[in-house]
Structure 1
Amino acid sequence: MMLAAVYLFGIDGAAVLHLERNLPLPSNSTSIEQLTARDRARHERILRGSTAVHGVVSFPVYGSADANIFGLYYTTINLGSPPREFKVVIDTGSDVLWVMSNTCVNCPRSSNLQIQPTFFDTTASSTARVIPCTHKDCAPFNRSGTAWCPRSDQCGYTIRYLDSSATSGVYVKDEFHFDSLLPGSRIANSSSAPIVFGVSTYQSGHLIDTNNVADGILGFGRGDLSVPSQLSSRGLIPRVFAHCLKGDGMGGGTFVLGKILEQGITYTPLTPNKQLYFVNLQSIAVNGDMLAVDPVVFTNRGTFFDTGTTYAYLVDEAYNPFVNAVTAVVSQSAAPAMREGFQCYLVDVSVSQLFPAMTLNFAGGASLVLKPEEYLVQSVVSLDPAGMWCLGVGKHPKLTILGELVLKDKIFEYDLVHQQIGWTHFNCSSTPNVSVSREYFVNSVRSRLSTCAGLLPLAISTYAFLFVI
């Protein structure tokens, strides 16, 4: 270990500060490339005036879409000073990151899964600042009914989800901690940056379910208030991210902010001027045969990817043709039944041998092929026989929603620079190849989110917990 000393001379004498090397001298374990990468990171921090550096950011993924485990995918984040860890649901179907306040009314205080919740205490973080509620910042949102002012020094919010659950609270600005991997380096840098997020003071609906393991929701939508939008607007993270949700075993997977380099990814364009990840679904095929559904139905109603919804949902006009097509294929070997509004089948053979493939065809020539295990769910109702399988596809009056069930066991990349979503089948137990290209960074130092201006949350989102069929 190399030591050094700095002498400080003052009026009353000298003080000595002993210094130690942070990294060892170059050796077989530490290359010059690693040391120069660290220097580049430091120089960029100095120029940026921030403790955060740009690079690849990876979040661990826990949970599963399996009702026997958790029924959702979540990750952990660290907020505040000193940092505290929170479990948050990964939700591409909403914008706002929020966690439960220690003063929250009607928030779950325990879980049936023996996982204790964590609560955010604004007074316990030295860097926390409640966003003030001024006429300039919050009055437009008061008129739209999506923000409100409990006091003049607090900018509040209310979010309602499609499953009828809701949360309300106040906006806070505090440090968001993450580890970033620099381009061309294997050194992970501990970084932090101030972001705006919600602190929930009231919850209702499925959010207070005692089977819930999460402390909040991590919104990864396209709006200005989402975490990726806030960090990428300052050039701290790339404007591209991906998730890989593991379907078997105990679930898990990877959520990464960076460009995926795996082969075989096919892309479809994002629909312009949408706050969520809408795409143009053109047709659906079962066992290779196209459903007799007018493509205008999908175009007019809209289709989007949502990790906060457990199942898939087809718009009304497409649902019955899909169910009829599947039933026609399996009718000789499976007895149909209904469970909680979902079409089910009593099966005594392997579903992979009996059920057909489902193919979703999108604009740009991209197709999402689903094996039977990727759109079927085994019933967990105790009275059902072991061979009862249900379509994990429900009916929706307005939208087609692609939830966790059909997203698992594949990499999905959300490229906001080129406005497209791509995917390919992948073993989500493995780590995908990721790169940071300069074209995915925004050269911006000033955040647009320093006050309540631009803090319009989604009035309606699609976050839904798993229900047992």
Structure 2
Amino acid sequence: MTAVMMLAAVFLLGIDGAAVFHLERTLPLSSNSTSMEQLIARDRARHARILRESTAVHGVVSFPVYGSADADLFGLYYTKIKLGSPPREFKVVIDTGSDVLWVMSNTCVNCPRSSNLQIQPTFFDTTASSTARVIPCTHKYCAPFNQSGTAWCSRNGQCGYTIRYLDSSATSGVYVKDEFHFDSLLPGSGIANCSSAPILFGVSTYQSGYLTSTDFTVGGILGFGRGDLSVFSQLSSRGLIPRVFSHCLRGEGSGGGIFVMGKVLAPGIMYTPLVPSQSVFFHLSFSAKYVFIVITMHFAKKKAKF
């Protein structure tokens, strides 16, 4: 079977002006005075310097990807995230077709308690996290949710939500604000620095449809859509990461891959701007000389204030 590698890298441009730089030659004009080994060594040094400079300016958050598109193995891709204080690990499906990150509540009445994927689901307990705060209907954070048409006010004044998916399954719960933990690369090195930031996400107390099945149960869904509620939009709106992401989904063997929020300047990585469109999706365009599987992504058009 031919290995299939899916690679997508997207960034949003916001440049109003232009800059002119004068370039000077660092190598002599004579090609005989510089060996190929020297050229390769200098090129590697240049790329290393670019990587150091890029991580010094931009944050890079990396998540390992597990699973496979092969229905006989997983039929989905998921990653691991940590929420709360103390942090707890949750395995969540990566979904570019929705915005909200949600995990299952420990009080959920019909959430699957096991998974045929041999993954033990983790449940979120708002009382067990010292930094968890349930969002009330009167809070300013609830306004964007109500505008999206997915939010509602519960009897006890909490900001609730109902999210419906194309397969007719749905999830309902309350919005919570808590710490989202992630590893970011330290400037000038490949060492990961543990960081955290408060984000808004859903804690589901009710599931319906396919989400009640144990066939593909993980622990929640990481919405990576264009809306203001996506984790990417929340982190980038605060300046914690640039509005750039990339991911590589491995299609052979046991699958897996990598998912990166932030821009990495490295040999072999190409970034492409989003194609302007009136669609609810953002589309990508690639050069014909490269072979890609076309993927649609979507992002927030403006910064959200969280």
Q: How high is the TM-score relative to the length of structure 1?
A: 0.48
What is the alpha-carbon distance in structure 2 between the residues aligned to residue 255 and residue 69 of structure 1? Answer: 20
Q: Percent identity?
A: 73
What is the alpha-carbon distance in structure 1 between the residues aligned to residue 116 and residue 190 of structure 2? Answer: 40
Aligned-pair CA distance for 1:216: 0.4
AA in 1 matched with 2:275: L
Q: Which structure has the larger Rg over C-alpha atoms?
A: 1
AA in 2 matched with 1:176: F
Aligned-pair CA distance for 1:56: 1.1
Aligned-pair CA distance for 1:92: 1.5
User: Which residue of the partner structure matches residue 276 of structure 2?
Assistant: 271
Aligned-pair CA distance for 1:136: 6.5
For 1:180-216, what per-residue CA distance to the aligned partner results, in whole angstroms no more than 9, with x for missing partners? 0033223321101100000011111121221124100
CA pair 218-368 structure 1, distance change in 2 beyond 3 A: farther
Aligned-pair CA distance for 1:415: 10
Pairing partner for 2:305 from 448, 458, 465? 448
What is the alpha-carbon distance in structure 2 between the residues aligned to residue 183 and residue 145 of structure 1? Answer: 41
For 1:318-346, what per-residue CA distance to the aligned partner results, in whole angstroms no more than 9, with x for missing partners? xxxxxxxxxxxxxxxxxxxxxxxxxxxxx
What is the alpha-carbon distance in structure 2 between the residues aligned to residue 266 and residue 128 of structure 1? Answer: 36
User: Which residue of the partner structure matches residue 223 of structure 1?
Assistant: 227
For 1:62-104, what per-residue CA distance to the aligned partner results, in whole angstroms no more than 9, with x for missing partners? 1101112111000000000010000001111111000000111
Pairing partner for 2:64 from 57, 60, 63? 60
Aligned-pair CA distance for 1:402: 4.6
CA pair 266-197 structure 1, distance change in 2 beyond 3 A: closer
What is the alpha-carbon distance in structure 1 between the residues aligned to residue 289 and residue 267 of structure 2? Answer: 17
Aligned-pair CA distance for 1:238: 1.9
User: Which residue of the partner structure matches residue 86 of structure 1?
Assistant: 90
CA pair 264-255 structure 1, distance change in 2 beyond 3 A: closer
What is the alpha-carbon distance in structure 1 between the residues aligned to residue 259 and residue 148 of structure 2? Answer: 33
Aligned-pair CA distance for 1:367: 7.1
Aligned-pair CA distance for 1:271: 2.9
CA pair 183-67 structure 1, distance change in 2 beyond 3 A: same
Contact 1:266 1:366 in 2 (8 A): no
CA pair 229-269 structure 1, distance change in 2 beyond 3 A: closer
CA pair 207-74 structure 1, distance change in 2 beyond 3 A: same
User: Which residue of the partner structure matches residue 258 of structure 1?
Assistant: 262
Contact 1:95 1:226 in 2 (8 A): yes
Contact 2:100 2:222 in 1 (8 A): yes
Q: How many residues align?
A: 252
CA pair 163-231 structure 1, distance change in 2 beyond 3 A: same
User: Which residue of the partner structure matches residue 5 of structure 1?
Assistant: none
Higher strand share: 1
Kindly report which structure 2 residues correspond to 1:120-199, keeping only aligned pairs within 5 A, or say none. Answer: 120-134=124-138, 138=142, 145-199=149-203
Pairing partner for 1:247 from 251, 256, 262? 251
Contact 1:97 1:197 in 2 (8 A): yes
What is the alpha-carbon distance in structure 1 between the residues aligned to residue 169 and residue 270 of structure 2? Answer: 35
User: Which residue of the partner structure matches residue 208 of structure 2?
Assistant: 204
What is the alpha-carbon distance in structure 2 between the residues aligned to residue 151 and residue 205 of structure 1? Answer: 25
Contact 1:54 1:235 in 2 (8 A): no
Aligned-pair CA distance for 1:274: 5.0
Contact 2:135 2:142 in 1 (8 A): no
Contact 1:267 1:366 in 2 (8 A): no
Query: What is the root-mean-square deviation of aligned Cα atoms in Å?
Result: 3.3
More contact order relative to length (CA 8 Å, sep ≥ 6): 2
What is the alpha-carbon distance in structure 1 between the residues aligned to residue 219 and residue 193 of structure 2? Answer: 26
